[in-house]
Structure 1
Amino acid sequence: MLPNPLHAENPLIVKHYQQQDRYSFGLKVLTLALSKLDTPFHVQTPQGQFVNEKRGENQIIDGQLDLQWMSTTMGRENDMIPIKIPLYRGLLGLRLLLVKKERHDQLSGINDLKGLQNHIGGHGVHWGDLPVYKANNLRVVTNVNYEKLFQLLIGNRFDYFHRGVNEIWEEQNRYSDKLKIADNVMLYYPHPVYFFVTKHRPELAKQLERGLKIALQDGSFKKLFLDSFGKIIQQGELDKRHLIILKNPVVPARTQPFDTSWWLPQKFQSQLRNSP
């Protein structure tokens, strides 16, 4: 008996909510992992509507959506199925400092946590990593408006604005007449981003984990990562900087250390392993 052609072509449907450009790498990893399964698939997003992170997370928990890629918390690991393969290899925990041009040399001289504690940072009031700064005794000025934070920095309301190495270059370019990227210093805190799958589809979680492991083994995951971020990693000249490691109280205590060797210079690896 011939197989039913309609059944054979039934694609694996995967629904997620995030359509903003800053989430595009996660979508590329999702597509790569699904492509390793030798099964037709189709990725869907809600049409004609914007779904914010909190609403999207609730829809995953309820089973209306299938998954999203998010930073880990104890609550998320309890409410959804985490696939504990860090999608960004920890890169989102790497932060460079955006500073006023007039203060560039002063702030480029920071080389340890104590020195950083003498200055005030800027931060979004609702951003998930805000507890990092309190846990490390770092003072911050917060604002609900992302764009307003740049104006507050320019207006001397705080001293530096820490930004992801994947974000800072475009942002500095927008304010190149006023702001520079501090030399010699970088911050890092554990910030794993996982796929979180609804508990209503445990089989999808297993399939996706299998696809990710295949992509790791055959090198295609690393190639995608370096194609996406290699240029900005090189631009950051990380080997010329002091590494300041911060505690992240949001990350569950049982989280295993993960491999940062795709982007962090070898000379920092022992410092990272020996950090509290």
Structure 2
Amino acid sequence: MALISNFSFATEIDLVRYVESKKYPDLKQSYFVDLLTLALEVSKSRYGDYKLQPVNIEMAQARTSMMLQREEYIDLTWRMTSQTLENKLQAIYFPILKGLMGYRIFIIPKNKQHLFNKKTSLADLKKIDLGQGHNWADSDILLANNFQVVKGNDVSLIKMLKKGRFSYFPRALHEPWLEISDDEGLTVEKYLMLQYPAPTFFFVNKHNERLQQRLSFGLALLLESGQFEQFFLNHRITSGILSKANVNNRTSFPLRNPLLSDKTKALLTDERLWIKLK
């Protein structure tokens, strides 16, 4: 009986739909799609085949999460986690970017570098307006640490920076260069970095136990085999990013993240899951 049950379980085809924007394509998305594909591939022996299907809908992060919660259009998303988000959606408790989102360097106008130098203190930074997205966990984290945060829509923040609405735009280590590659007026600030624990998880609907179990199983296999580490080190989005960002020569300011759940905090002690700066 068990053999028949296992065979039936493995012959199902899992449909996994996710948002892919045509209007605002994001090259960084390839990292998540490639890792998702890898986790589904290594889990085929237990869970069978799958079909990945991008859904071309233009929506912000918050609306994507809402659609997933309602079981409409999509089966999965990826976001920086928070207790509030975990209450609404089922997190796959595996930091798929090794905490990279919590290491923040700044996009700035080239004529603003004088505001930031090796002697700049955390108190100095908190007096300078910065930009972050509506409904981003980062906005709440930075506000909780008493920064001056100007909020905007995701796709408008670069334009707001150029118009002088704020003076710096903190981005994760792997993000700035792609975002300003065509803009000669912007640059990456040279000396400073913010740091806070900020895992990014895959999320599914709380009723989708099969996909939750499959991804947890697949990601665990990748971790134990060393494939996840190799994927992170060699993917075009993350490869060489620590040296490119010159992290070991930056002044790093540790911040608290009050948004983490107890279950997420428990992951922080597993060194295999996080990037190592040195």
CA distance 1:262–1:61, shift in 2 (3 Å): closer
What are the ranges of 5 or more consecutive residues in structure 2 without an aligned counterpart? none
Matching residue of 1:226: 233
- How far has the Cα of 1:123 moved from its partner? 2.3
Q: How far, CA to CA, are the matches of 1:198 and 1:76 in structure 2?
A: 11
Cα 1:263/1:251, change in 2 over 3 Å: same
RMSD: 2.8
Specify which of 148, 166, 176 is matched with residue 168 of structure 1. Answer: 176
SS of residue matched to 1:158: coil
- What is the TM-score with the length of structure 1 in the denominator? 0.81
Give 1:139's match in structure 2, choosing from 126, 139, 148. 148
Report the Cα distance in structure 2 between the residues aligned to 1:86 and 1:63, rounded to whole angstroms: 23
Structure 1 unaligned blocks of 5 or more: 267-276
Matched-pair identity in %:
27
Amino acid at match of 1:182: E
Equivalent residues, number: 260
What per-residue deviation string (whole Å, max 9, x for no partner) do you get for residues 231-275 of structure 1? 232211111111111222322255221548864423xxxxxxxxx
C-alpha change, 1:73 and 1:14, in structure 2 (3 Å) is farther
Number of the residue aligned with 1:188: 195
Moved more, 87-96 or 77-86: 77-86
Contact 2:99/2:275 (CA < 8 Å) preserved in 1? no
Following superposition, the deviation at residue 91 of structure 1 comes to: 0.3
What is the aligned partner in structure 2 of residue 58 from structure 1?
Answer: 66
Tell me which residue corresponds to 1:206. Answer: 213
- The range that moved more, 65-74 or 37-46, is 37-46
Find the partner of 2:94 among 69, 85, 92: 85
The TM-score with structure 2 as length reference comes to 0.81
From the superposition, tell whether residues 101 and 220 of structure 1 become closer, same or farther in structure 2 (CA, over 3 Å).
same
Query: Which residue does the alignment assign to 2:277?
Result: 265
| Residue in structure 2 matched with residue 215 of structure 1 by the alignment | 222
Offset, 1:145: 6.1
* Secondary structure of residue in 2 paired with 1:230: coil
Which residue number in structure 2 is paired with residue 36 of structure 1?
42
- Report what 1:27 is aligned to: 33
What residue number does 2:19 align with?
Answer: 18
- Contact 1:98–1:182 under 8 Å retained in 2: yes
Three-state SS of the structure 1 residue aligned to 2:150 is strand
Evaluate the alpha carbon distance shift between residue 154 and residue 83 of structure 1 in structure 2; reply closer, same or farther with a 3 A threshold. closer
Which AA in structure 2 matches 1:44?
L
Q: 1:62 to 1:120 in 2, by over 3 A?
A: closer
